[in-house]
Amino acid sequence: MLITCSIVSMLLAQTEPAAAPPPPAVALRARRDAAGLAEAIAALKATWPDRVGSQILATSVGGYPIHLLTIADDPSAAGRRPAMLVVGGMDGHRWSSTEAALAIAEAILRDRPESLRGITVHVVPCANPDAAERFVRGPRRASASNAVAHDNDKDGYGEEDPPRDLNGDGLITQMRKAGTLPPWCKPTQVADPAEPRLMKSPDAAAGQLPEWTVWTEGIDADADGRMAEDWPGGIDPDRNFPHRWPEFEDEAGVYPLIAIESKAIADLVIANPQLFAALVIGRHDTVVNVPDAKSRTPGGMPSVIDEGDAAAYGDLAKAYRELTGQSRADGADTAGSLVAWLNAQRGMPAFATTLWGRPDAPPLPEGTPAKDPKAPKPSDESAAAWREYSDRARDGTGFVPWTRQQHPQLGEVEVGGWVPGFRENPPLADVAPMSSKLVEFLGRVAAARPRVALSKPTIERAGPSLWRIDAALSNTGRLPSVMRGGRAEGGTPAHVVRISVPADRVKSGRRVDIVRGIAPGTARPCSWIVNAPAAETIVVELLFAGRPVERPAF
């Protein structure tokens, strides 16, 4: 009888409907404009008013705010706790990076993992609002530059020859024309025999001759023989940071940190020495393809990470791959990037992710004829694989078919090519699950953070009025307190061990010992011989960035 009642009770419990999870505070969307971003931030603040704060770091040249979200269990202590930084929205056409940053913020607020408790998380969802707004308003083109007026073609006039949407599809793709039509047409390309939609350089050894000229969609507005070469926007913030700044590249700025956006983020980092790690979502990748730790700048600085930090960095990059399952990433050169500056000059472990890589195309339906093994292989296998993914998984929405279009100067041309943002952004439905994995990764990074502490000093008599004092400064975390590049730079926050005895009575040891960096799992002995009466109180203290370290956690 008791067993029967128990079974009935169990059955009744199983049939009770489970409580539905609360709806998300922020509904993710593709191509969010500035007003939509402000609404999302307001929704997060309204839902968790006691755990999230916001401020405007700066206002872009285009007049859009650069928002900062600060997430903390105790906002009053946010500036004193170990902290992490998440940055998205550096590139206008990578809208998913902003959505992922918002999703990360909400996931932490809704269900903060244990490893992130006590950690402040700063989130910059859209670091380049000018580029984001330009992509939303259209016509859509791949762009990472802000709204500073710029003379791309160096003819003394700025933005007078922008791309134009000739076929009215709301996109800036490419246009091509066969033959020669001076001064514009000078063929340099051929259609790939394996995939005629794709263009390639001719193979002279195979007897191929250039047939097509390919341009960005537009006209020659300034009659200089070039098409759409002077586009809106001037400085790319993610090529404007000081480390390996690409001085002579277009859109890198006339000097580092001249861009409002890069300067605002640099100021944020410098004003928050408690930051111990960062995650940058955008065009760069340091987790699927870990940077070469042996690569150095001409001045001897690490290109991104130093050999001494490679093991700890590589362990977390491996954790990223295991958590996310991402195995491909088309990362761009990191010269002048935020992630390179943070690692190599600021000394902060920073991880960059493209959020996704090219997925495998689904298999062809049964009965589809097999490919002819003698058929030519595509010259760009990655582009061909993207084309297959677009065709089979996304109904061909990633590529605009080449179609004839009348051009006011060239006559008949063909317009088509990759849809801007298609290869850079996963489907919207995939962003939230991907972001949940990134929260798990942030938890792994937080668990590995540097944990620097000063041991309790020991005292022994060394002679009349002489005392020997010993302590040890250790890092029991799995990340260095400062990456080795930052130590070499000498401008990063440092730990300081200080003894209160006046300098003239310190007979051995440094009264103030500045420690630029402590490797994980190591200890640094601190020892003094001081002249002091037996009744004197001597204080040995540990400071970080000028602030007393109250807890051994950091």
pLDDT, tens only, 229-286:
776 668 999 999 999 999 988 889 999 999 999 999 999 999 999 999 999 999 999 9
How much is the pLDDT for 349? 95
| Rounded Cα distance, 287 and 6, in Å | 52
At 104, list the tokens: 């990360």
Backbone torsion region of residue 472, taken as left when φ is above 0, otherwise alpha when ψ lies between -120 and 50, otherwise beta: beta
Location of structure tokens 């958590």: 323
How much is the pLDDT for 510? 93
At 96, list the tokens: 């998913």
Judge whether 355 and 279 are in contact, CB under 8 Å: no
How much is the pLDDT for 2? 39
pLDDT greater than 80 at residue 15: no
pLDDT greater than 60 at residue 16: no
At 172, list the tokens: 């800036």
How much is the pLDDT for 152? 58
| Rounded Cα distance, 149 and 10, in Å | 69
Listed range (235-239, 273-277, 370-374, 391-395) with the worst mean pLDDT: 370-374
pLDDT greater than 60 at residue 365: yes
Q: What is the mean pLDDT of residues 324-337?
A: 95
- In which band, very low, low, confident or very high, does the pLDDT at 342 lie, cut at 50, 70 and 90? very high
The pLDDT > 70 percentage for the chain reads 92
- In which band, very low, low, confident or very high, does the pLDDT at 317 lie, cut at 50, 70 and 90? very high
| Rounded Cα distance, 446 and 115, in Å | 6
How much is the pLDDT for 488? 74
How much is the pLDDT for 182? 87
Q: Give the rounded distance of the alpha carbon of 353 from its chain centre.
A: 6
How much is the pLDDT for 387? 94
Judge whether 201 and 211 are in contact, CB under 8 Å: no
Residue 246 CB neighbour total at 10 angstroms: 16
pLDDT greater than 90 at residue 490: no
Q: What is the mean pLDDT of residues 164-172?
A: 95
β-pairing, 466-475 vs 495-499, is unpaired
DSSP letter at 344 equals: H
How much is the pLDDT for 219? 93
| Rounded Cα distance, 199 and 416, in Å | 11
Say how many residues make up the chain: 554
Listed range (154-168, 326-340, 352-366, 427-441) with the worst mean pLDDT: 154-168
Taking every pair of Cα atoms in the chain, the longest distance, rounded to a whole number of angstroms, is 100
How much is the pLDDT for 12? 41
pLDDT greater than 60 at residue 553: no
What is the average pLDDT score of the chain? 90
Model pLDDT for residues 32-74, shown as the tens digit of each residue? 999 999 999 999 999 999 999 999 999 999 999 999 999 998 8
| Rounded Cα distance, 411 and 429, in Å | 42
Location of structure tokens 């928050």: 272
Give the full edge-to-edge strand order of the sheet including 411-418: 212-216, 174-178, 411-418, 399-407
- Helix 129-137 × helix 34-47 angle, to 10°: 120
- In which band, very low, low, confident or very high, does the pLDDT at 159 lie, cut at 50, 70 and 90? low
Q: What is the mean pLDDT of residues 511-516?
A: 92
Q: What is the mean pLDDT of residues 179-185?
A: 88
Residue 160's nearest CA partner among 219, 217, 221 is 221
Count of CA atoms in the C-beta half-sphere (13 A) of 152: 21
How much is the pLDDT for 285? 98
The dihedral sign for the CA sequence 266, 272, 278, 279: negative
| Rounded Cα distance, 59 and 137, in Å | 19
Query: How far does the chain reach from its first CA to its final CA, in angstroms?
Result: 59
How much is the pLDDT for 4? 39
Contacts of residue 237, defined as CB under 8 A and 6 or more positions apart, other chains included, come to 90, 127, 128, 144, 146, 259, 261, 262, 265, 338
Strands (DSSP E) found in 362-424: 399-407, 411-418
How much is the pLDDT for 20? 66
Listed range (159-173, 259-273, 293-307, 419-433) with the worst mean pLDDT: 159-173
Q: What is the mean pLDDT of residues 472-495?
A: 87
- In which band, very low, low, confident or very high, does the pLDDT at 225 lie, cut at 50, 70 and 90? confident
pLDDT greater than 70 at residue 523: yes
Residue type, position 168, single letter: G
Q: State the burial class of residue 204 (Cβ atoms within 10 Å of its Cβ: 0-12, 13-18, 19+).
A: exposed
pLDDT greater than 90 at residue 75: no
pLDDT greater than 60 at residue 158: no
Listed range (372-376, 464-468, 532-536) with the worst mean pLDDT: 372-376
